[in-house]
Amino acid sequence: NRLFVSWMARLNKDGISRERLHERMLAEESDSGLWPDDARLHESWLNEPLYRRLYSRRRLEYILRRIEMTLRTSRHERVTIESGLTVEHVLPQEWTKHWRLPDGSKGVPSEERLTKPSPDSDARDRVLQTIGNLTLLTGPLNSTNQNREFEYKVRKIKEYSLLALNGYFRQRVEKGKGWDEDAIQERGRKLFKQAVRIWPHPGGGGAR
């Protein structure tokens, strides 16, 4: 990576220390090297389609695994995750087949919206690939859930998943709450608070 090579060359010249590394990182303004502050990260975290933007699903899986570890407390059993995990869309990518819009109407598939505009369907698609809508499941459980309705998915999660990351969905169902655009944004904000604790900005700035 050219960026790290240039950093190391500069640090070797100026002296290697944590403080100098932070200075170097904060001074970087290129697209590949910019370390976003909490405000910029918060905006992207909630609104960017990270499932598509990250070049590798493994990066996204890594982020969610790290958050999973921070969600566990002394009250949780110590669980070692040995099974392969995959990234699951809680609101399915093909949601128009089985999921209704908040007003109860049927969503319009994206390929039909040129002739049948649907602002509500567009709004739902904007949050579909954001991190608030993503979680981790085993491959077989992911395949079982696929495009099914929220209550069905949560029943299967409750039956098979031990992840603290998925306890959030069980709590929503127990409170009689469903899964929509507002819920996705709310969960995104909760995950963000964990993210900035795991990866704090070197210039400071706490969670929102």
45 and 25 both lie in a single domain: no
Q: How far apart are CA 170 and CA 148, in angstroms?
A: 16
Residues 168-196 have a mean pLDDT of 94
Domains of the chain: total: 2
144 and 58 both lie in a single domain: yes
107 and 135 both lie in a single domain: yes
| 106 Cβ contact partners less than 8 Å away, ≥ 6 residues apart | 96, 100
pTM, full prediction: 0.83
169 and 85 both lie in a single domain: yes
Burial 142-173 (b: 16+ CB within 10 A, else e): beebeebbbeebbeebeeebebbbbebbeebb
Residues 157-181 have a mean pLDDT of 93
11 and 44 both lie in a single domain: no
- Give the three-state DSSP class for 48: coil
Q: How far apart are CA 100 and CA 173, in angstroms?
A: 17
| 8 Cβ contact partners less than 8 Å away, ≥ 6 residues apart | none
Instruction: Report whether pLDDT(207) > 60.
Output: no
Q: What is the pLDDT of residue 201?
A: 79
Please say whether the beta carbons of 202 and 26 come within 8 A: yes
Instruction: Report whether pLDDT(67) > 70.
Output: yes
**pLDDT band for position 20 (50/70/90)?**
low
Which residues form the domain of 193?
A: 38-198
Predicted confidence (pLDDT) per residue in 104-126, tens digit: 999 999 999 999 999 999 999 99
125 and 66 both lie in a single domain: yes
53 and 152 both lie in a single domain: yes
Q: Which residue has the tokens 């060359």?
A: 9
- CA torsion angle 141 146 147 151 (round to 10): 20
49 and 13 both lie in a single domain: no
Please say whether the beta carbons of 25 and 8 come within 8 A: no
Q: How far apart are CA 42 and CA 208, in angstroms?
A: 8
Q: Which amino acid belongs to residue 2?
A: R
30 and 90 both lie in a single domain: no
71 and 133 both lie in a single domain: yes
136 and 184 both lie in a single domain: yes
Q: Which residue has the tokens 């969610």?
A: 64
104 and 66 both lie in a single domain: yes
- Give the three-state DSSP class for 88: strand
Q: What is the pLDDT of residue 121?
A: 97
Please say whether the beta carbons of 49 and 192 come within 8 A: no
Q: How far apart are CA 8 and CA 4, in angstroms?
A: 6
The answer to whether position 159 is within a domain reads: yes
Residues 57-65 have a mean pLDDT of 90
- Give the three-state DSSP class for 113: coil
Choice between 81 and 104, residue whose per-residue pLDDT is larger: 104
Instruction: Report whether pLDDT(159) > 50.
Output: yes
Of 30-34, 92-96, 180-184, the range with the lowest mean pLDDT is 30-34
The answer to whether position 94 is within a domain reads: yes
